[in-house]
Amino acid sequence: MLTSSVFRTSITSISLVTSTNSKSKSSKSNSIKTSSIKFRIRATLNQQQTTQSPIKDCDDGESSKPRVLLNSLRVLEWDKVSDAVSSFAGTSLGRVAAKEQLLSLDQTYEESLMLLRETNAAVEIRKHSDSSMDFTPIDVILVRSAIDHARRSSPVAGQEAIAVAVLLQMAEALQTNIKAAIRENADMLDRFMPLADLILDWVTNKSLVRSILQVIDEDGSVKDSASGKLKQARWRVLNLESKLNQLMNNLIANETNETSSLEASNVDGRWCIRSGARQLTSFKGLLLSSGAGMGNIIEPVSAVQLNDELMEAKASVVDAEAEVLLDITEKIKLDLDDIDKLLKSVIALDVVNARASYGLSLEGTCPELVLLDDENTPSSSEGYLTNSNSVKLVYPTKKQWKLCLPKAYHPILLQRHRHSLREAKKDVANAIAEFRRRKLGTNFGQQEVTQVDIEVLQEKVTQLEEARPVPADIMIAKHTRVLLITGPNTGGKTICLKAVGLAAMMAKAGLYVLCAEPARIPWFDSVFADIGDEQSLSQSLSTFSGHLRQISDIQARSTNQSLVLLDEIGAGTNPLEGAALGMSILESFAEAGALLTIATTHHGELKTLKYSNDAFENACTEFDEVNLKPTYKILWGVPGRSNAINIAERLGLPKVIVYNARELYGAASAEIDEVIYDLEKFKLNVEEYIDEAQHYVRLSRDLHEKVQHVQRNLDEHSSDLKYKMMQQISEFASTARSSVHKKMRQYRASAHKSPLPAETISHPASTLINKQHPTTDANALVPETGSASSVEEVKPSPSDKKIRIPKVGDSVQVPSLGTKATVLKVEPSKKEIIVQAGNLKLKLKISAIKS
């Protein structure tokens, strides 16, 4: 379910003032009534003054936010981000609600998670080709006015009725597309949640839409076919206007004076003739008005009755239109609650769509929002999105980050650069089009465009593409509570501070952050910042005093869930005192202050805090000593070095001055900086090697597990094959035994009936049984005649000696099995062969087969 904060006092009142003027319209439009509708909207965005910024207005008693928090939002330029996001909303009330939601920043952790889930769902819906949440065609102001009119049982205007119909049509189309997507792929339901529940719960009355479109035109005018009374009244108006027009033309034509300047005119719905100030007319009439500059306006006597009839006809038209609109109003009243609920849902979805559109336009990433406790460990409520439409993060190393923003951009800088690049490309396209038109000799513009102008514009595009903002890899370890960034001026320290602060607020407000994956951000209850010049002449505060007051207020307001950003801490006063004060302030934040504090400074003494307190970490902005310019990249874990003397030497400052400066600075200090730099760099390299080794260890474990899994599968497969082979062999053996026993019973039966004495028969099947059952008694295979002891050998018949000996590979018939077999081996000396029938190998006498 969407959070209710979207609608929290978004619109306190919408009032409608209508004034009706009885003016004629052309016969083509067939609409006589002209309504002037004016709306007055008062939206509570925590500001009431139009000449002041939204954040400043919040300080004038309209908001309970403390001044220090408002100052923080101002220096971070959060209002510009809010304006950029709200500009993606398609409706006016959606823009108001989106900006109010973003400026509030009062979401709880659970609400922030819900906002991110909504944004993810909107992104998934946008990816579906048939679904769109662009609500630009809906005039929510007119819909809101129609609802108010219907509640008061006053007729809605035609434009209001059309606005209601458009709302219902777009809602039905979106709902149909969502249902179709879910029917096509059931997984879409989880990916569209929680927005799917809201959309599928809509109630849209198709019959109401048909009723409105049957009687109201797209421009809001009532159709002639709306009622018979209206059609007849409009026909009468047209007829009377035609008569009056013909009468006026005749009167003007009858005036013989060539110098006369008469013209027909419509005054308050009555047809009259306008003449010069001193011009006399031959026809009688009523002087309605006169003036030296405007002339006379005369209503001819012959036109008075027709004008009276015309006014009556127009009144009939107005009454007939009012009846139609009142009937539409009654139908709207029947679904008023559903329409009101639908309007609020559309505004809420418009806000969500604005957040999704903003994130997609800047190629943002859904962050993993975590809730950390005092020990910087995720709380029991699982500090990340776990539903199916969220991005589940998998870290490449075992190291746990408190804050992880790879390749992070400052949103305002990135948006400004993309806007400039887009405009530059547009200028190139326009210049090329104008150049081609001039070449063809058509559509000359105001300025002549040459090939040189085009090349200049293209060079500007190339420069902008090369001057893309440099992203920063911002990764803060779990145990770090204070991060200190050092480096030269214009090196990107302040931009880094603002990027972190804006990313934290964007994640809290349900926005994608502008960085690569994976993105991990703690949930902060507040973001406090002391950036820039806080000089205040009205309060008699210097720059240094302004910073101290802001920092004091931050310490008073911050909690163990807050983010604190301090720019140039300890600056603006004596360097030694400033460094000492800065160290004391940062230590206080580390011990019992905010969840995370990030500070920038030029004081080298502050870099040593890391070596006495594990809660501190160093970082610096990289400087290209060859080209003498910053690279705008952040080096983590490395303290910044002093480059002023080296830069002075490279710029050609006299060697004597450079030498004296180094002497005054002290060789020991320089050597210490070098040693610290080398040690930190060595430490970073070791950590990288450790992370890489751990990564390969995990890969090896994964591969080992996969190999074991494959081996288990092979073993299981081999066992299955062996089991199947044994089953087949058992089935063939059972078949062979059944066949042998059947033959033996036949031989026994024939021996009882025959008068000759029984002889021992050497049957090929006995060989099979002897090989399969070597312990079986041979007498069991010999038929009995009278006594068990009378056993005689059965001599082969003379025909057996003439049997053809088969060759290897021949196909022979085995009568005992009733099947064919292939000859594998022939032993003529033993008069035996080995054959294969299916999966069964048999050793048979040659006499037991048929070729």
Average the pLDDT over 29-34 and give the result.
34
Q: Out of 14-23, 364-373, 823-832, pick the least confident.
A: 14-23
Single pTM value for the model: 0.67
Q: Which residues of 212-229 are buried (b: 16+ CB within 10 A; e: fewer)?
A: beebbbeebbbbbebbee
226-329 maps to CATH 1.10.1420.10? yes
How far is 581 from 168, CA to CA, in rounded Å? 63
The CB density around residue 147, as the number of other CB atoms within 10 Å, is 21
Q: In this structure, are strands 368-370 and 520-522 parallel, antiparallel, or unpaired?
A: parallel
CB distance 47 to 57 below 8 Å: yes
Q: What is the pLDDT of residue 440?
A: 74
CA dihedral 384, 387, 391, 395 (to 10 degrees): 50
Domains 226-329 and 472-658 share a fold: no
Output the average pLDDT for the chain: 76
Q: What is the pLDDT of residue 539?
A: 45
* Tens-digit pLDDT profile for residues 649-698: 777 888 888 888 877 776 656 666 666 667 667 766 787 788 788 888 88
Instruction: Kindly tell me if the per-residue pLDDT of 36 is higher than 50.
Output: no
CB distance 814 to 841 below 8 Å: no
Average the pLDDT over 456-460 and give the result.
86
% of the chain surpassing 70 pLDDT: 75
User: Of the ranges 152-161, 255-264, 758-767, which is most confident?
Assistant: 152-161
User: Of the ranges 105-119, 474-488, 645-659, 797-811, which is most confident?
Assistant: 105-119
Q: What is the pLDDT of residue 523?
A: 93
Q: Encoding tokens for residue 140?
A: 């929510």
User: Of the ranges 239-243, 500-504, 583-587, which is most confident?
Assistant: 500-504
Instruction: Kindly tell me if the per-residue pLDDT of 743 is higher than 70.
Output: yes
Q: What is the pLDDT of residue 109?
A: 92
Q: What is the pLDDT of residue 389?
A: 43
Q: In this structure, are strands 482-486 and 616-624 parallel, antiparallel, or unpaired?
A: parallel
How far is 263 from 273, CA to CA, in rounded Å? 6
How far is 46 from 54, CA to CA, in rounded Å? 7
* Tens-digit pLDDT profile for residues 56-93: 334 444 456 788 898 899 999 999 999 999 999 999 99
Q: Which residues are CB-contacts of 18 (< 8 A; sequence separation ≥ 6)?
A: 35, 36, 37, 157
Instruction: Kindly tell me if the per-residue pLDDT of 802 is higher than 50.
Output: yes
Q: Give, to the nearest 10 degrees, the angle between helix 140-151 and helix 301-334.
A: 90
CB distance 130 to 176 below 8 Å: no
Q: Encoding tokens for residue 813?
A: 């018939």
CB distance 428 to 455 below 8 Å: no
User: Of the ranges 3-7, 374-378, 429-433, which is most confident?
Assistant: 429-433
How far is 826 from 47, CA to CA, in rounded Å? 107
Q: What is the pLDDT of residue 598?
A: 92
Q: What is the pLDDT of residue 542?
A: 60
Higher local confidence (pLDDT), 676 or 10: 676
CB distance 107 to 509 below 8 Å: yes
Q: In this structure, are strands 482-486 and 520-522 parallel, antiparallel, or unpaired?
A: unpaired
* Tens-digit pLDDT profile for residues 405-432: 988 999 998 989 888 888 888 888 888 8
As beta bridge partners, residue 408 has 472
Cα separation of the two ends of the chain: 83
Q: What is the pLDDT of residue 280?
A: 63
pLDDT classification of 844: cutoffs 50, 70, 90: confident
472-658 maps to CATH 3.40.50.300? yes
Nearest to 68 by CA among 752, 726, 547: 547
Q: Encoding tokens for residue 679?
A: 């040690």
Q: Encoding tokens for residue 717?
A: 């497969």
Q: By three-state DSSP, how is residue 590 classified?
A: helix
How far is 515 from 403, CA to CA, in rounded Å? 12
Q: Out of 213-222, 604-613, 785-794, 831-840, pick the least confident.
A: 785-794
What secondary structure letter does DSSP report for 541?
A: B
Q: By three-state DSSP, how is residue 265 classified?
A: strand
Rg (CA), the chain: 47
Instruction: Kindly tell me if the per-residue pLDDT of 155 is higher than 50.
Output: yes
For the sheet containing 295-300, what is the strand order?
Answer: 263-267, 270-275, 295-300, 285-291
Q: What is the pLDDT of residue 652?
A: 80
Nearest to 6 by CA among 316, 242, 261, 349: 349
How far is 695 from 701, CA to CA, in rounded Å? 10
Average the pLDDT over 609-628 and give the result.
81
* Tens-digit pLDDT profile for residues 39-56: 222 232 233 333 333 333
Q: By three-state DSSP, how is residue 339 classified?
A: helix
pLDDT classification of 786: cutoffs 50, 70, 90: very low
Instruction: Kindly tell me if the per-residue pLDDT of 784 is higher than 60.
Output: no
Q: Is 706 left (phi over 0), alpha (psi -120 to 50) or beta?
A: alpha
Q: What is the pLDDT of residue 461?
A: 86
pLDDT classification of 517: cutoffs 50, 70, 90: confident
How far is 497 from 137, CA to CA, in rounded Å? 40
pLDDT classification of 545: cutoffs 50, 70, 90: confident
Nearest to 70 by CA among 60, 50, 83, 55: 55
Q: What is the pLDDT of residue 100?
A: 92
Q: What is the pLDDT of residue 676?
A: 64
Nearest to 290 by CA among 273, 305, 268, 304: 273
Instruction: Kindly tell me if the per-residue pLDDT of 118 is higher than 50.
Output: yes
How far is 298 from 320, CA to CA, in rounded Å? 31
Q: Encoding tokens for residue 621?
A: 């902005």
Q: Out of 304-318, 476-490, 789-803, pick the least confident.
A: 789-803
Q: Encoding tokens for residue 117?
A: 């889930």
Higher local confidence (pLDDT), 474 or 390: 474
Q: Out of 273-277, 324-328, 385-389, pick the least confident.
A: 385-389
* Strand ranges for 384-504 from DSSP E: 401-408, 472-477, 482-486
* Tens-digit pLDDT profile for residues 566-589: 988 877 777 788 888 888 888 888
Q: What is the pLDDT of residue 447?
A: 66
Q: What is the pLDDT of residue 541?
A: 52
What secondary structure letter does DSSP report for 820?
A: E
Q: Out of 28-32, 83-87, 117-121, 233-237, pick the least confident.
A: 28-32
Nearest to 385 by CA among 399, 365, 400: 365
% of the chain surpassing 90 pLDDT: 19
Residue 568 exposed, middle or buried by CB count within 10 Å (0-12, 13-18, 19+) = buried
Q: Which residues are CB-contacts of 16 (< 8 A; sequence separation ≥ 6)?
A: 37, 38, 39, 145, 148, 149
Average the pLDDT over 259-286 and give the result.
72
User: What residues does each domain of the chain span?
Assistant: 226-329, 413-468, 472-658, 714-785+795-848
How far is 644 from 649, CA to CA, in rounded Å? 9
Q: What is the pLDDT of residue 763?
A: 46
Q: Encoding tokens for residue 41?
A: 């909207």
Q: What is the pLDDT of residue 130?
A: 60
pLDDT classification of 758: cutoffs 50, 70, 90: very low
CB distance 318 to 22 below 8 Å: yes
Average the pLDDT over 169-190 and give the result.
87
Q: Element (H or E) spanning 569, and its range?
A: none
CB distance 118 to 366 below 8 Å: no
Higher local confidence (pLDDT), 2 or 419: 419
What number of H helices and E strands is found in the chain? 22, 20
* Tens-digit pLDDT profile for residues 585-604: 888 888 877 899 999 888 77
